[in-house]
Amino acid sequence: MNKKNEYSQLIKAEAKRLGFLSCGISKAEFLEDEAPRLENWLNKNHHGEMKYMENHFDKRLNPTLLVDDAKSVISLLLNYYPSESQNPESYKISKYAYGQDYHFVIKEKLKELLHTIQTEIGEVSGRAFVDSAPVLDKAWAAKSGLGWIGKNSNLLTQQVGSFYFIAELVIDLDLEYDHATTDHCGTCTACIDACPTEAIVAPYVVDGSKCISYFTIELKENIPTEMKGKMDDWIFGCDVCQDVCPWNRFSKPHNEPLFNPNPELLSFTKKDWDEITEDTFKKVFKNSAVKRTKLEGLQRNIKFLR
C-alpha cells in the first residue's frame, strides 16, 4: 500500500470513529464546473438579501486561496436525523436545529481529526470548515463521491438520504482521491412539486430568495405578504423538499447525544409557541442554532402565520 493510500485509509477510519457517516477525499483545485453555475445564480439574484454570497467569489471556488499550499479536501457527513418528531399540532422547526448548534459539535470533531492526522502522519497544516467560510460544501462532497446534488440542490446519498451536515478539512497533504458518483434523481420531481413557495424554479436550481428557510432565518425585514398561506407552519427553516424525497426513506436516527432535542421542544403546541417567554426560549434553545433568529425573529415568523 502506498503512503497516499495508507494515509487516506487512516483518515477515513478516524472519521468513522468520531461518528461521521462517511468521508470522501478530493484534490484541492479550482471548481471549474461550479464557476458559471454560481455566477449565473448570483446574476439572477437567487441569493436575495444574502449579500455575503457575492463576496469572495474566487475563494468559494478555489480552496488553495483559503489554505496555503492546500492539496486535499476531506469532506465529511454527519447524520442529524432525529428519532422523535415535534408535536404535529405545533409550529415547525427544521430537524437540523433540534439539538445543539452543529457548528460547535462538528468543529470539535474536526479539531480531533486534524490532531490525529498530525500525530499519526506528522507535519500537516489544515483548516476546518463548518458552514462558516466561503466553501461550496455540497460541490466538494459530490466531487469526493459522497453523493450527488439533487433537484432540490441538496446532496443526496443512496441508502442514507440527505439529513446530514457537510463539513470539510482542507489540508496540505497529498492523498488518494475518490471519484464522483452518478445522479439518481431520475424522472422524480417530488421536491419540485411539494415546495410550498415554488422555490425550486427548475430541476437543480433553487431560488434562495423564495425559500422558507430564507424567509424564516436569513431575511431581516418583514416576510413578503404574498407568502401568506404558503409557509406551511414553518417558523425556523423548512424540511419539505427533504421530507418528500424518496431517498430519505432510508434515513436512520443519528447517534450523537448533543443533537438530541430538549424534551420540552417536542411537546410544544402552537399555544406554547404563541406564549413563549425569553426565559423559556433561552432554556429550550440553549446552544441551539435557533438562537440565530433571536426570540424576536421567531415571534415575527409566528405572527406572520396567524
**CA-to-CA distance for 202 and 215, rounded, in angstroms?**
20
User: Cα–Cα distance between 72 and 292 in angstroms, integer?
Assistant: 32
Query: Exposed/middle/buried for 68, CB within 10 Å: 0-12, 13-18, 19+?
Result: exposed
Residue from 131, 232, 243, 272 carrying the catalytic annotation: 131
CB 248 within 8 A of CB 163: yes
Cell 431560488, residue? Answer: 207
Nearest partner of 254 among 82, 97, 109, judged by Cα: 82
Identify which of 256, 269, 80 has the alpha carbon closest to the alpha carbon of residue 162. Answer: 80
Distance CA 19, CA 256 (A): 8
Is 131 tagged catalytic? Answer: yes
Phi then psi for 170, rounded to 5 degrees? -105, 120
Between the CA atoms of 157, 162, 165 and 171, what dihedral angle is there, to the nearest 10 degrees?
20
The residues carrying an active-site annotation are: 131
